[in-house]
Structure 1
């Protein structure tokens, strides 16, 4: 992979290159709507516009950069084939491009990639791609893909740290400015490796310099936030992998250099809040998004006063969400809102103890959603892992007080992540 040397001139996407990219990808990329959101406009007393990249053929913006890169390669390189590593959306973009251009592609994906994204990648690529599941994270897959590419002389299609990829993603900025009927005051966009924001921010800084550019990344994988704080690209030792489309341990060097100069602010959002936003978008607007696709909207709360009366664009980056994750998304949302709590409850080893707990400890609107208990006759008390869903976060403290008064309280698990994940 190309690296940015300390004494190397910083790459900046030029408008001519972005316009060339827009022309190159025009036959395969959908010019997605810039749609008014009644729900969020009313909530924030602003004009909130959603750039619906979830409506692309591969259901994410990644097709832009992938196709721009692959279609720009000389034929002798295409004949050797291309290779990439991706947690899902870039893989689908590469697969689609390989199929369209009839170029062989090898795609490495983490073993933890949702099945839906793996199947979609295979579907878009057809006979032209081979999918290999290797490693637990994007970074693991990336290292394996690089070894494979070096061995067989295949061109590596980087998901974010590549000039042609950045220029392809930058075409979103061109579209927004073409579609907008008024000046844009703010753009909120998700960030994983940084290719999307590097591209969009470059277009706005050249064509609409007064627009504020806000980058948004998951709290558990804050690689750009950490890098900006240190003033250099840093690699996180561990990351939360839930937001698979934006969970990388290290951002691209080109993207870091561009974002450091162009971003007005970088913010992080909790994974639980992302989950609640996914549910809100589905229930209120019938929009299906993946975790990374919801991140930009999640950040609006932090800017509620600042954006009032303004024209705001949020990039809805993708909709490749596996339905099998719905239970986890709901669980994380409830935990974030303070409505789901797990305890170790100490039950006296006598008949009627559970009945007493339900009748005299639980509130009228409290619901037991998880219960694990094994009776041991040689003990006075038997522990049970109990999950309780509340109707209101304010019901939590009274519940704990009743547990303690009735001598049922054992231990609260939500704030003990290692024990919590092991038991629940």
Structure 2
């Protein structure tokens, strides 16, 4: 279709019987931080918490009566499945939705709930490819119409209504719209509409670096198939840009930015800070792209729109997102530092850190000369991290920067330690620290100068009290004095020396 024909389909799209016009909210905190006006298009507020309802409903609404009578089918493990189920229920159309057996129950139950009596969920295969292949077999056997998640003119037109709303809601100049890219349905529809009406607005696609199929196609000048696709941002985990979407994207997308998992996690946190919504990883892609673009270009006083495309977050992913958010924002430095193995060394090390907050500390005594510690420190950005590393080296501490080390972030931080060969006089205590400046130094001055610390684990969890596990080398004759110092410290504490987990692993 020509650009004009695509725009006509967008203007005639039948989406508002199912979808709603979502707000275009200003991100006050981010706008102030980056000295640009950043607006968020809240597609996470759709009935199925994703923009997918637009394309799915428009596709079903444009079926012939004969096609509706026979029914429809799709394969999806996520937002498209919910969009089709919701639309089929509204239009009273039989729908078969094939999902992998490994799909989380929360998503399967959501599809069944949205679809009611009109939707049948078929669980098949352990991966999406197996589910997709099975859906094609069922389509042929039952004469069903296949509802593609992105590569169809009616789906593209439905998604394009997002752009129509943005231009209507923000009549003032805007410089760029940032759009997440999977198969390309959303960016194709939006690019067609925006470039037809206002070609001066930049259209910027944003992709997860492990599923950047549009970036690869733009570079090659043709559609390519990625060898591997990362599934962290599962809503955009597509190996090849769609054929129909590519026809539009290759001419009307100005550029594609790729972002890392850490940058996505940081954007999820930013989205929460400004909207109090918890975005799924693919839903925060566009915002991550905005931040990266501003940092690259150094712009000020411009207006950018980011599409918050969905909020179907798996709850079990929140822990990982929270862990990585500060690293992705470059507000946490992760370091491996070697300090002398002697009483007071930990205190001297913290003195070099100054007033910076320690976000994590992992250590286990097993050498009489040196202690290798894994430490997280709150910083304001890359410059302060570099200053911190320089100051530690100036104090003659060997330092390794682990901030971008994937193994360290995903595994080593949880594995530091093990059993010690020097734990004969060791006692283990669990503490609750008040999360305030000076709490750690107070602890070390009361206890760390007198007795050697042989184990220490702490991670900031954003609560009022920090949880600390700490072991001391306390000879039996010092026990009364040690207990007195614990009373003077006045931190909540529990003796865990007989805990079976300690005995087994530490």
- Does TM, scored on the shorter chain, surpass 0.5? yes
Closer/same/farther in 2, CA of residues 413 and 46 from structure 1, 3 Å limit: closer
Cα distance in 1, alignment partners of residues 333 and 108 from structure 2? 32
Specify whether residues 402 and 159 from structure 1 end up closer, same or farther in structure 2 by C-alpha distance, changes over 3 A only: farther
Rounded Cα–Cα distance in structure 1 between residues aligned with 2:68 and 2:391? 64
Q: Distance in 2 between matches of 1:321 and 1:355?
A: 46
1:14 correspondence with 2:1: no
> Which among 220, 229, 248 is matched to residue 210 of structure 2?
220
Query: Of residues 332, 335, 340 in structure 2, which corresponds to 1:339?
Result: 332
1:2-401 mapped onto 2 (5 Å cutoff): 13-21=5-13, 24-110=14-100, 113=103, 115-134=105-124, 138-304=128-294, 305=297, 308-336=300-328, 337=330, 339=332, 341=334, 358=346, 365-368=357-360, 388-392=375-379, 393-394=385-386, 397=389
Does the 8 Å CA contact 1:331/1:340 hold for their aligned counterparts?
no
> How much has 1:321 moved relative to structure 2?
1.6
* Residues 104 and 387 (structure 1), Cα distance of their counterparts in 2 relative to 1, 3 Å cut: farther
Would you say the 8 A contact 1:201–1:259 is kept in 2?
A: yes
Deviation sequence 1:246-267 (CA, Å, 0-9, x none): 1211111111121110011111
Would you say the 8 A contact 2:339–2:397 is kept in 1?
no
Q: Structure 1 residue 161: deviation in Å?
A: 0.6
Tell whether the 8 Å contact from 1:64 to 1:165 is kept in structure 2 after alignment.
yes
* C-alpha distance 38-341 of structure 1, shift in aligned 2 (>3 A): closer
Following the alignment from structure 2 to structure 1, what is the Cα–Cα distance between the partners of residues 204 and 315?
Answer: 30
Bigger mean CA deviation after superposition, 166-175 or 97-106: 97-106
Change (3 A) 1:132 1:36: same
- What does residue 481 of structure 2 align with? none
> Which residues of structure 1 form unaligned runs of 5+?
1-8
Assess if the C-alpha contact under 8 Å between 2:49 and 2:312 holds in 1: yes
TM-score by length of 2: 0.69
Residue 193 of structure 1, CA deviation: 0.8
Which digits, 9 at most, give the CA deviation of each residue in 1:92-129, with x for residues without a partner? Answer: 10010111122222223355655543332222112322
State the Cα RMSD in Å.
3.5
SS at match of 1:390: strand
Shift of 1:175: 1.5
**Aligned residues between the structures:** 401
In 2, Cα distance between the equivalents of 1:306 and 1:366? 30
1:6 — aligned with what?
Answer: none
Deviation of residue 401 (structure 1)?
Answer: 5.5
SS at match of 1:188: strand
User: In 2, distance between residues paired with 1:328 and 1:357?
Assistant: 32
Contact 2:331–2:378 (CA<8 Å) still a contact in 1? Answer: no
8 Å CA contact 1:361, 1:399 repeated in 2: no
Aligned-pair CA distance for 1:346: 10
Q: 1:367–1:109: structure 2 CA closer, same or farther, 3 Å change rule?
A: same
2:210 match: secondary structure: helix
Contact conserved, 1:361 with 1:402, CA < 8 A, in 2? no
- Return the alpha-carbon distance in structure 2 between the equivalents of residues 286 and 341 of structure 1: 28
- CA displacement 1:53-74 (0-9 Å, x = unmatched): 1111111111000001112112
> Which ranges of structure 2 fall in alignment gaps of 5 or more residues?
380-384, 415-506
User: Contact 1:113–1:244 at 8 Å: present in 2 too?
Assistant: no
Relative to 1, partners in 2 of residues 1:182 and 1:416: Cα closer, same or farther, differing over 3 Å?
closer
Q: 1:50 to 1:415 in 2, by over 3 A?
A: closer
The structural deviation recorded for 1:32 is 1.0
Displacement of 1:198 in angstroms is 0.3
* Bigger mean CA offset, 293-302 vs 96-105: 293-302
Q: What are the superposed Cα offsets for residues 359-404 of structure 1, whole Å, 9 maximum, x if unpaired?
A: 5666574354667x798xxx999999x7532223358737986999
| Whole-angstrom distance in 2 between the partners of 1:271 and 1:354 | 39
Q: Distance in 2 between matches of 1:356 and 1:153?
A: 77
Deviation for aligned residue 1:166: 0.3
